[in-house]
């Protein structure tokens, strides 16, 4: 199987409201930078392009097609889209390259969540007969999961606050982060509940923005002459859409994906985990089999800023950039999709 | 050109202009709700799933063995909504809960109108509050209330 090189990754700042900027204007700066990093001109210089976004955020069918305007798709390019986080666009491109259909790919994810009521928009991800008519929003389903975890004794509210305090602290060194600073566990626990048992800080903020990545075969990366990280393994799994049929205190799909991606085949120096709610990082750390010697979310993770449909790709990009800079040799990235960690993707990255 | 050019007009309704059947499993559950009854379905391992699923979540086997159930149950996990959103169906603070209907094994998600968070606890007993008019929708269960 052909090894895949992650050559370049760029993300925009996480902002609560991008104002008058439209999606294309959010995407264009990161596309420009990610191309410049590689030293290529445009989407014409890669074999394949794939994006991740959610038409429900824009409120129009096929809204993602407008995003292609950010590429300049004339003459025609080979292009695809996933109605998911762009981490799954990465997965599609990896398959394409492994099958020999492309040697290089440009990926991007974008989301402008600010115009709508995001937790309610995302309630429409649920099944159309039993749940979405009830308008079960994403904060509420996460709160149900958090209570189940607390009741099980696998975590405490202090453990959840510790995740938040560490996220805010780590985010101080992340120029793209939206929420950062020094805050103590005691201060966090003194806050009132928001959607009990969750406090407001247990929930990721709503952010606008985009991210982009360029991957290629190792041969192509060498031709470009740029440093790169190697994607050693990638896998994704999904659980039942019936919440009651899942053990909400575990992430079985992450466990399977982690095994298939080869997380345990070597030391994990850094893990970037897509946990939109603090308790989910606790569930995912266990599902990924990570010990206390792994640095989790040095970027601050998505509790410091959550660009819908881009944050998963950004987890992979954060780990890749640390490897490219020579800070670490091996790391793990995780992305999630759906309510209460329904679907999960795990990627293992190593130095060249 | 005339100043009074004809303006073309066409009425347009934004929405789904078709209907669809909910099928033998989801449809049976929703029809039972219209009759103020709850049915579950047996999974591959014999566990009773509510609301019924068409296929087993583990084996993917097609399921067909229905089980009549009462309209009472137990709260397995819950979350308290202090500030209901505009779309939420209750306009006062309420709980979301996973409710294991008595005689079933796999819990369902619905709302509990308990009045105050202090009235909520994992393991509490609840019963259905039926809507005034039932139509064959999940919202025929207006919510649950402490039993």
* pLDDT at position A138 over 70: yes
* pLDDT at position A78 over 90: yes
Q: Please tell me which residue of chain A has the smallest CA distance to B100.
A: A244
* pLDDT at position A72 over 90: no
A140 and B96 in contact by Cβ < 8 A? yes
DSSP string covering A70-125, please? GT---S---EEEESS-HHHHHHHHHHHHHTTS-SEEEEEEEEE-TTS-HHHHGGGG
Length of chain A: 352
A&B contacts, CB < 8 Å: 101
pLDDT in the model for residue A223: 97
User: In which order are the strands placed within the sheet that holds B38-42?
Assistant: B48-49, B38-42, B66-69
Q: Measured between CB atoms, which of A148, A196, A242 is closest to B80?
A: A196
Going by C-alpha positions, the residue among A30, A4, A69 that lies closest to residue A209 is: A30
* pLDDT at position A333 over 80: yes
Residue-level pLDDT, tens digit, chain B, 147 residues: 556 788 899 988 878 778 888 999 999 999 999 999 999 999 999 999 999 999 999 999 999 999 999 999 999 999 999 999 999 999 999 999 999 999 999 999 999 999 999 999 999 999 999 999 999 999 999 999 999
Q: Which residues of B touch A197 (CB under 8 A)?
A: 79
Interface of A with B (CB under 8 A): 117, 119-120, 123, 129-131, 133-137, 140-141, 143-148, 151, 193-198, 240, 242-246, 248
DSSP type of residue B110:
E
Arithmetic mean of pLDDT, A265-290:
98
A117 and B86 in contact by Cβ < 8 A? yes
Q: Measured between CB atoms, which of B26, B30, B107 is closest to A244?
A: B107
Arithmetic mean of pLDDT, A248-262:
98
Structural domains of chain A, with CATH = 4-117+206-230 (3.40.47.10), 128-202+232-347 (3.40.47.10)
pLDDT in the model for residue A2: 83
**A237 to chain B, minimum CA–CA distance in Å?**
13
Residue A260: both structure tokens together:
């298939």
**B65 to chain A, minimum CA–CA distance in Å?**
17
pLDDT in the model for residue B2: 56
Q: How far apart are CA A204 and CA A349, in angstroms?
A: 25
pLDDT, tens digit, for every residue of A5-14?
999 999 999 9
Residue found by looking up tokens 């298939």 in the block? A260
pLDDT, tens digit, for every residue of B62-94?
999 999 999 999 999 999 999 999 999 999 999
Tell me the average pLDDT of chain A: 97
Arithmetic mean of pLDDT, A184-203:
98
Q: Please tell me which residue of chain A has the smallest CA distance to B30.
A: A129
> CA angle B112-B118-B122, nearest 5°?
60
Q: Which residues of B touch A129 (CB under 8 A)?
A: 22, 26, 30, 51, 138
Residue A246: both structure tokens together:
């899942």
Task: Give the count of beta carbons closer than 10 Å to the beta carbon of residue A154.
Answer: 15
Do the Cβ atoms of B70 and B101 come closer than 8 Å?
Answer: yes
Q: Which of B29, B73, B79, B122 to mutate to test the interface with A (most CBs of A within 10 A)?
A: B79
* pLDDT at position A157 over 90: yes
B96 and A143 in contact by Cβ < 8 A? yes
Strand ranges in A197-308 using DSSP code E only, listed in sequence order: 198-199, 208-217, 229-238, 270-272, 295-296
DSSP type of residue A205:
P
Q: How far apart are CA A182 and CA A171, in angstroms?
A: 10
B137 and A131 in contact by Cβ < 8 A? no
Q: Measured between CB atoms, which of A129, A136, A137 is closest to B30?
A: A129
A147 and B122 in contact by Cβ < 8 A? yes
Arithmetic mean of pLDDT, A289-306:
98
**A6 to chain B, minimum CA–CA distance in Å?**
35
Residue A104: both structure tokens together:
């290089």
B139: contact with A, CB 8 A cutoff: yes
Q: Which residues of A touch B138 (CB under 8 A)?
A: 129-131, 133-134
A143 and B49 in contact by Cβ < 8 A? no
pLDDT in the model for residue A121: 96
pLDDT, tens digit, for every residue of A334-345?
999 999 999 999
A151 and B51 in contact by Cβ < 8 A? no
pLDDT, tens digit, for every residue of A18-44?
999 999 999 999 999 999 999 999 999
**B70 to chain A, minimum CA–CA distance in Å?**
18
Residue A189: both structure tokens together:
């626990």
List alpha helices for A118-251, DSSP H: 118-121, 138-152, 157-171, 185-189, 218-224
Q: Are strands B108-112 and B94-101 parallel, antiparallel or unpaired?
A: antiparallel
Q: What percentage of residues in chain A have a pLDDT greater than 70?
A: 100
**A301 to chain B, minimum CA–CA distance in Å?**
24
Arithmetic mean of pLDDT, A275-282:
98
**A129 to chain B, minimum CA–CA distance in Å?**
7
Task: Give the count of beta carbons closer than 10 Å to the beta carbon of residue B93.
Answer: 15
């Amino acid at each position: 199987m052909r090894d895949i090189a992650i050559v370049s990754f760029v993300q925009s700042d996480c902002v609560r409201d991008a104002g008058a900027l439209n999606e294309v204007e959010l995407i264009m700066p990161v596309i420009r930078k990610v191309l410049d990093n590689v030293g290529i001109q445009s989407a014409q210089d890669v074999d394949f392009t794939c994006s991740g976004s959610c038409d429900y955020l824009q409120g129009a069918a096929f809204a993602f097609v407008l995003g292609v305007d950010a590429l300049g798709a004339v003459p025609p390019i080979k292009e695809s889209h996933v109605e998911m986080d762009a981490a799954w666009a990465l997965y599609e491109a990896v398959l394409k390259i492994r099958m020999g259909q492309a040697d290089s790919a440009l990926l991007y994810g974008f989301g402008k969540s600010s115009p709508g009521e995001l937790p309610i928009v995302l309630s429409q991800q649920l099944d159309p007969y039993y749940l979405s008519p009830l308008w079960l929003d994403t904060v509420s389903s996460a709160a149900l999961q958090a209570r189940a975890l607390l009741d099980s004794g696998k975590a405490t509210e202090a453990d959840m606050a510790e995740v938040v305090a560490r996220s805010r602290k780590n985010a101080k060194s992340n120029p793209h982060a939206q929420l950062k600073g020094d805050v103590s566990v005691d201060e966090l626990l003194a806050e009132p509940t928001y959607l009990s048992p969750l406090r407001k800080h247990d929930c990721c903020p709503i952010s606008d923005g985009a991210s982009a990545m360029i991957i290629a075969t190792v041969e192509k990366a060498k031709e470009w002459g740029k440093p790169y990280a190697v994607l050693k393994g990638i896998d994704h799994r999904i659980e039942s859409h019936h919440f009651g049929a899942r053990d909400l205190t575990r992430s079985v799909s992450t466990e399977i994906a982690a095994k298939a991606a080869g997380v345990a085949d070597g030391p994990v120096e850094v893990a970037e985990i897509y946990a939109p709610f603090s308790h989910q990082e606790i569930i995912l750390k266990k599902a990924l089999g990570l010990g206390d010697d792994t640095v989790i979310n040095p970027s601050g993770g998505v509790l410091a800023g959550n660009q819908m449909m881009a944050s998963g790709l950004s987890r992979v990009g954060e780990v890749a950039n640390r490897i490219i800079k020579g800070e670490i040799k091996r790391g793990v990235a995780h992305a999630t999709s759906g309510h209460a960690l329904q679907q999960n993707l795990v990627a293992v990255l190593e130095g060249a | 050109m005339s100043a009074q050019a004809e303006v073309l007009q066409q009425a347009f309704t934004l929405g789904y202009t078709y209907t669809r059947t909910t099928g033998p499993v989801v449809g049976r559950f929703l029809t039972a709700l219209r009759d103020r009854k709850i049915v579950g379905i047996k999974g591959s391992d014999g566990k009773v799933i509510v609301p019924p699923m068409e296929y087993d979540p583990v084996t993917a086997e097609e399921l067909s063995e229905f089980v009549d159930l009462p309209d009472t149950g137990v709260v397995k996990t819950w979350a308290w909504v202090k500030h209901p959103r505009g779309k939420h169906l209750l306009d006062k603070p309420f709980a979301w809960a996973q409710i294991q209907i008595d005689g079933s094994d796999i819990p369902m998600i619905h709302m509990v109108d308990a009045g105050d968070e202090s009235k909520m606890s994992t393991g509490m007993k609840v019963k259905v509050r039926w809507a005034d008019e039932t139509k064959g929708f999940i919202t025929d269960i207006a919510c649950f209330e402490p039993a």
